[in-house]
C-alpha cells in the first residue's frame, strides 16, 4: 500500500470547495490504551473530523502542554511502541477512510530508522508526518524517503518565523503547513488571537499549500473564528481533556465524538 498524500490533498481540497475549513483532530496513540486510542480516532471521524493526527508519545514532548503530556505519560507507562502507532494508523484508516498522519518528534524516527519508519507508515496507509522539531535544513533525508513512499511532510511555522524563513519551510513541505497560533506549548486558550491570522496571511504569501492553524482551539466559537482565515483548524488538547476527564472509556469516546460534532459545525460557520 502506498502513502495517502493524495487522499490528504483531496480531503483538504474538498473542504475548500465546500467553502469551509477542514477539521483536523489530534489524539495520542496508546491513550488510554492502544485499542482505546484506535476507538477514539474512529469516534472523532464519526463526529466530523476530516483528518486525524496520531501522536507518537515521547518522553520529552517539548511542544506539548500538560494535558497531552499527561496522556503521553499514560501511553508510555502502558508500554506503547512504534508498532502500536502503526497499528493505530492502519486500523483507524481502514475503519474510517480518513487521512491519518503521525505527529512525532524527530528522535524516535532517528532511532527507529528513517527508511523503516517511512516504509511502515506508508504500508499502514498513513498520509504523512508532522515533524515539529525537525529543522527544514536538516530534513533532506526524511523528505527523500517520505517522497519515495508517497508521504506528506508537514512543517510548523510560528509567529516568530520571519518571512524568508517561512518561504524556506513552505517550499520544503507538502500536504499542508501547520501554523502554530502562538508562542508556547499546546493547550486550550481563552483566545486564539490576532497573531494567528497574521501568520496565516504571511504563510499564504509564500505557498499554495493549505495553511492550518493549531494550538489553543477548544470550542466551536474558536473553531469558527479560525476557520474565517485558515484552511484547517487543528484541535488536540480539547479532545484529550475530554478523554482524561471522562469517568470511563465509553464516556470518553462519546465525549470526543460530541466535541468533534460541535467543532465540525464551527468550521462551517466561517
* Catalytic positions: 53, 64
d(CA 185, CA 175): 23
Cα-based distances in Å from 258 to 115, 178, 204, 221: 38, 25, 32, 15
Report the first-to-last Cα separation within the chain, whole angstroms. 36
Residue 133 grid coordinates: 522539531
Pairing between β-strand 156-157 and β-strand 22-28 as defined by DSSP bridges: unpaired
Pairing between β-strand 22-28 and β-strand 51-55 as defined by DSSP bridges: parallel
Burial class (CB in 10 A: 0-12, 13-18, 19+), 77: exposed
d(CA 214, CA 191): 12
**251 Cβ contact partners less than 8 Å away, ≥ 6 residues apart:** none
d(CA 130, CA 101): 7
Which residue, 56, 54, 120, 43, is CA-closest to 89?
Answer: 54
Containing H/E element for 37?
Answer: helix 34-47
Amino acid at each position: 500500500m502506498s502513502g495517502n498524500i493524495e487522499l490528504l490533498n483531496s480531503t483538504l481540497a474538498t473542504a475548500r470547495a465546500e467553502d469551509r475549513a477542514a477539521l483536523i483532530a489530534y489524539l495520542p496513540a496508546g491513550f488510554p490504551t492502544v485499542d482505546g486510542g484506535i476507538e477514539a480516532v474512529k469516534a472523532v471521524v464519526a463526529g466530523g473530523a476530516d483528518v486525524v493526527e496520531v501522536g507518537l508519545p515521547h518522553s520529552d514532548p517539548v511542544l506539548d502542554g500538560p494535558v497531552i503530556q499527561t496522556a503521553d505519560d499514560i501511553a508510555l507507562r502502558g508500554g506503547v511502541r512504534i508498532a502500536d502507532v502503526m497499528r493505530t494508523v492502519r486500523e483507524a484508516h481502514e475503519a474510517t477512510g480518513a487521512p491519518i498522519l503521525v505527529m512525532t518528534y524527530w528522535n524516535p524516527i532517528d532511532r527507529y530508522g528513517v527508511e523503516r519508519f517511512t516504509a511502515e507508515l506508508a504500508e499502514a496507509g498513513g498520509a504523512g508526518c508532522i515533524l515539529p522539531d525537525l529543522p527544514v535544513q536538516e530534513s533532506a533525508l526524511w523528505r527523500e524517503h517520505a517522497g519515495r513512499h508517497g508521504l506528506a511532510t508537514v512543517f510548523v511555522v510560528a509567529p516568530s518565523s520571519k518571512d524568508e524563513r517561512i518561504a524556506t519551510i513552505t517550499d520544503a513541505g507538502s500536504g499542508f503547513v501547520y501554523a502554530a497560533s502562538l508562542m508556547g506549548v499546546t493547550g486550550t486558550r481563552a483566545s486564539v488571537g490576532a497573531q494567528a491570522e497574521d501568520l496565516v496571511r504571511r504563510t499564504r504569501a509564500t505557498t499554495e499549500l493549505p495553511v492550518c492553524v493549531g494550538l489553543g482551539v477548544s470550542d466551536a466559537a474558536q473553531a469558527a473564528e479560525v476557520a474565517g482565515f485558515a484552511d484547517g483548524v487543528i484541535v488536540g488538547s480539547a479532545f484529550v481533556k475530554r478523554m482524561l476527564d471522562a469517568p470511563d472509556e465509553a464516556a470518553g469516546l462519546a465525549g470526543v465524538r460530541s466535541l468533534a460534532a460541535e467543532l465540525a459545525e464551527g468550521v462551517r460557520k466561517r
